[in-house]
Structure 1
Amino acid sequence: MIRVQHEDFSVDDLYKGLLKANQTGAVAMFVGLVRQFSDIPNESCSFELEHYPGMTERNLQAIVDEANTRWPLLDVCVVHRVGRLSVDDQIVFVGVSASHRAEAFQACDFIMDYLKSRAAFWKKESQGSESHWVEAKDDDEESLVRWSK
C-alpha cells in the first residue's frame, strides 16, 4: 500500500495490515516525526510538505518495486503526509513484512533512504515569521551509495 495524505495515520493499524497469517516472521517499521529545528527555545516551528500528485506515488511505487526485487518481501506499506505539520507530528510510515528479520530491516532502510532523495516532495520550513525551502542534503545522496554495491 502506498498513500500520500494530509491526515494523520495509526501506526497500530498500519502494522496490523502488514501481518500475513502463518508467514510473517518479521516486521520492520520506521516512523518519521517533525522535530524542533530551531535553536531558539519556545520558537514556533512547522513545515509544509508539497508534492506532485501522481508523480509522487509513481516514485514511491518504483522504490517499493525495487525493494521487492532485492528481497523476498511479504508486504510493504508507505504512508507519507503532506500539508502543514508541526513539531511532534508524524510525517512518514514505512513498514515491511518478511519471513526473516534481515530482509525486513534491509528493505525498510532501503525504502527510507530512497524516499528521502528520490520521491517528489518539497519541504518549506517556518520558524517564527521566517520561512525557506529546504535544499537536498548531501548526506541523503551519500546514503544511496551503499545500495549500489
Structure 2
Amino acid sequence: MSIKYWSQVGIGLLVLGFSTLVSWYEGSALLDHAWEWRYSAPFSEMVHGSVTGSSDIVALDFFVYAAKFSPLYPGMMIISASYLFILIGFRLFRQTGFRLSLALLGVIYLASCVVISSSPTAGGNALFWLFLLVGVLMVVAACIIHLFPFLRLGRPYNQ
C-alpha cells in the first residue's frame, strides 16, 4: 500500500477525530439546558426512560445537541467519515463491490435525510441538505461507474 493511501487515511482520521472531539465538547452544553433534555436526548430516553438529571444524559446525546444547534463540526464528521468509507471501499473492493458499497452508503444517507427532514432547527436543516447532497452524489457516482465500465478507477486493465 502506498504512502498516498495511508496519508489520506491519516488525514481523514485526524479530521474525524478532531471534529468528533469538538462536537462532543459543543454538545456537552446540553447538560446546562434542562429544558432541552426532552427534545435532544433520545439515546438517554432509550437507556433510562425519562431524563430527570444531568447524570442520566448519555454521551451520544451530546452529538444530537451539537448537530441541532451548531452543525459545523458534526457536518465535518459526516464528510470525513464518508471520505474514509469511500477510500477504504475503493481499496478493498473491485469495481462491482465498490459500486454497490457506494450506492448502499448513498441510500443510507438519503434515508438519514428523510429521518431528519422535519427538524425545526437550523442545524437539522443544514444536516438535511448535507445528507441529501452527499447521498445523491454517491448514488450518481455509483450509477456513472456502472454505466461506464471502461472507467477503471485508476486500476490497470489486466485486473
Same fold (TM over 0.5): no
Higher-Rg structure is 2
Q: Which has the higher helix share?
A: 2
Q: Which has the higher strand share?
A: 1
Structure number with higher relative contact order (C-alpha < 8 Å, ≥ 6 residues apart): 1
